[in-house]
Amino acid sequence: MKIAGAFYLICLGVQSLREAVHLWRSPTPINNAVPFDPPSHDGWKRYREGLLTNALNPKIAVFYFAVLPQFIKSGDPVLLKSVLMTFCHYAMGVIWLGGIAICAGRLRSLLIRPRVKASLEAVSGLAMIGFGARLAFARVR
């Protein structure tokens, strides 16, 4: 399983490097970049779909079952404290991911430049290859 995961990471890294080379050799002018889609009125629909997808994700339930009990003392109102901690986790996620989305939106004009895209692809490709190689040669304890 470890070797399969390492191989997958290395394949993703190589694919990313190939895309970087392609972007570097034939840069597309910014004017021909994918046009910006203005926000549509179905934003709440997308939000609800994402919320439902996240809520039905079994990894989230496992996370809450594994992490929350250690913060609940005997005699505490279990349901109330669990809901409060879940809301705090959710609020932190909204703030963090919302901040990332705002920053990415403001940096869009920079991020769509072909050389910047090629550089990001190259760096992420090298990182994935490095992670894959480290995983492949890591000793199991």
* Shared domain check, 20 and 1: yes
| Most confidently predicted of 25-34, 42-51, 82-91 | 82-91
The DSSP 8-state label assigned to residue 33 in this structure reads S
- In terms of domains, do 49 and 107 share one? yes
Q: Let me know whether 54 and 76 are in one domain.
A: yes
Note down the domain range covering 84: 42-111
* Residues 126 and 105 grouped into a single domain: no
Tally the C-alpha atoms within 13 A of residue 72's C-alpha that lie toward its C-beta. 18
pLDDT at 29: 59
Nearest CA among 55, 131, 119, 41 for reference residue 93: 55
User: Has this prediction a pTM greater than 0.85?
Assistant: no
122 shares a domain with 101: no
Residue 35 inside a domain? The answer is no
- Per-residue pLDDT, 30: 54
Taking 90 as the threshold, does the pLDDT of residue 14 lie above it?
A: yes
Same domain assignment for residues 53 and 82: yes
Q: What's the start-to-end Cα distance of the chain, in Å?
A: 15
Report pLDDT digits (tens) over 103-120.
Answer: 988 998 898 888 899 999
Q: Report the pLDDT value the prediction gives residue 12, as an integer from 0 to 100.
A: 93
Same domain as 63, residue 106: yes
Q: What is the mean pLDDT of residues 6-26?
A: 92
Over residues 23-48, the mean pLDDT reads: 68
- What pLDDT score does 32 carry? 47
Q: How many domains does the chain have?
A: 2
Does 87 fall in a domain? yes
